[in-house]
Structure 1
Amino acid sequence: MEWNMPSLQKSKIEKHYAKILWTFIGFTVVLVSFILYFSFSKTVITLMPRAEDIALDFALPVENAEVTKNPPSDTRFDGIFLTTTVSGEETSTDVTELDDFSEKATGTVKIINRYSKSQPLVATTRLLSDEGALYRTAGTVTVPSGGEVTVDIIADQPGASQIVGPTHFTIVALWAGIQDQIYAESSVPTSQTGRRSTVATGADIRSAQDDLLRDLKVKAADELARDASLLYPHLDFFQDILQTDVISETADVSPDDQVTAFTTSAEIRVTALVTSRERLESRVLEMLQVALPENMKLAGDQSPTFDFHLENVDPLAQTGTLAGTASAKMVLTLNHPTLERKNVLNLDAQQVRTYFGNFPEIAAVDVHFSPFWIRRTPSLIDHVEIILAQPKISQ
């Protein structure tokens, strides 16, 4: 037994150190895992921002610096105003067709006598219909007692309002006590003989004048475009930005005159702007950038839309105002409080999507964990990356 003691002790020692070794190895593995996790774990969150509309109404003073002699200013824009006066006349056949029922309505009635005596009725005897239309007999008749006589009638007043259907007529001149015994009846409606006519209504005249003004404006714009190309070939002529002042406009008819054609005439003064389109749009774009809400930017490589018009132009002084609206799409920037990384630490993918889904500025969310077995965002801010994708903007 004494001979085996060293071997037994050696075995116990080996087992003791083996436990220590495996404990150390286990601790090392855990430590390395933590080191690897904190060193290589990363989450990339890609956000698709939702583009929102922004519109800026502006009024930009414009002047010809060579004329005004004013020094350059950030509050004014340099431009040149060209003006021309044109006149002309046009004949229009766009008139309104009418059925003229100005004639008096006519018809035929039976005069019925249920009285004990015959009743003579002279021509133009008044007959009042139950509808209130007054007619007169066309001839003299005598209606025998217990009999009836047919007679033509004509309305007392012209117009379609006097037409009545089959109805009962009271003979106005008779004593009221026998009006229910001697009366007239019609079996068919009265009628008018109409004729077709054409008139120039107020709307017809206004439409013709508008057509003439539009044609004169095109003529003036063509003249100004030629002048601009000769005088200022290095600048842009804004054919879509014109100020039109009507000097006079007349028509040779009055509203509702019966005509088949009529003539309108007008004289207008048209003013146009000549300047650099690139510099102008760049200037308005700068104004739009300034108007953006905090932590917002213009979306993508879009081309904002501009709607310009001239106001208060004085061609002689070469001053005026370019007013209008600039419209574009905007999205949030990475500086937006919504996108702070501390808000999405130690969350799983669904929690990340839920968080960003609470904000209308975000259209879609994609979450990518690394390494692949990681299922939550890191607890360290530096290991979370948020990327804003480029939204597609339809022009």
Structure 2
Amino acid sequence: MKKIFDVLPPEKLKEKEVIYLPKKKRLKKGWILFFLILALAIFFLKEFPSATIEIWPKTEISKFETDLLVDRQIENPNLFKKSIPGQNFELEKTISREFSSSGRKLKEERATGNIKVFNETTYSQVLVATTRFVSKEGKLFRSTERITVPAGYYEGTKFLPGEIDVEVRAAESGEDYNIGPSTFSIPGLAPSPSYTKIYGRSSQAMSGGSKKEVLVVTNEDLNNAKDFLTDRAKEEGEKFLKENTPIGFLLLEDISKTEVLDISFSAKAGEELEKFNCQIKIKAKNLIFLKKDFEDLIKNYILSKIPGKKIQPESLKTNYSVENFDIDSGKVFLLVDTEVKIYPELDEVFLKKEISQKQIEEVKIFLKNQPEIDKFEINIFPFWAKVLPANFESIRLEIKLD
């Protein structure tokens, strides 16, 4: 038997009811909100205004002069003693320069070359060192070593001369002896028959003969080079120190101490050179000090001399000169000339007290009557406000310096 189920359709969801306000009521609520915000804004602007007053105090340029000690033995600046700490600053540098030789001498060179000696006799011939050989041009040369010229010999029915090479040197210097290939006789063999049987012949030109004036290094040249670089050492050392002074430090010029550690030359006196080099190694030393220490002490010194006034740091100009110094002991005494713009220190609490809750016109009259004020400018918010705020924190004073 089949079961029968009744399926009921789901109930339709009830639609959400939307309530619409009449257009007039919505406009009314919008206007109420607008006027409420406007009223609050007016209230806060009225009750909590703000003002900024830019004040240019009267300024003047003042000059000061004081002594100052840079001392390597102290660690901190001392205003009472007018001293600041210094530091040793040492560097080594090598200076080199080329110099010209001034000496002159006559340089003579004798020509040299090789001769092949022929022997057409049947016996050998000994020729001692310095044996004379005379060219067909009449130029005399001498052998540089002892030789034995072998005897002639037969090859079959043909007779061949013995031969040997020997080095020769001209008897005199000069280019005249740079002769071309030639034949040579041996005067020492005359008047024997060997004179015509033993002779020499060159296949290449003689060379090296000369007679000329050349430049040489003198002791005076070396001493002048040494003196020149030694004189330059101080200038070069100070320049090197200045170029390598650490950032933030000051170097006192013209008091550097320079020591020559070593001197060397590329040549000796008597050498035939047109130019030579001289090199010196130096050690330069000086005192350096922090620029901040120097400027801070000068500023504090000036402030101690002008109670109730301030300085404009950007206008500070200093010029110092060395009165006395001892680099080895680490003390330098300076005379410092200073120029700076100063102005009266304004009592902001007093000013705010006098101008708060005052009409703007009253404030202007008051500020104009203050002898320490040169000019001013008042900016108030909101712009329609006529009275300065009662709250001191809502009044801002800005000091302006041209």
Is TM-score (shorter-chain normalized) higher than 0.5? no
Q: What TM-score results when the alignment is normalised by the length of structure 1?
A: 0.38
Q: Which is higher, the Rg of structure 1 or of structure 2?
A: 2
Task: With the length of structure 2 as denominator, give the TM-score of the two structures.
Answer: 0.37
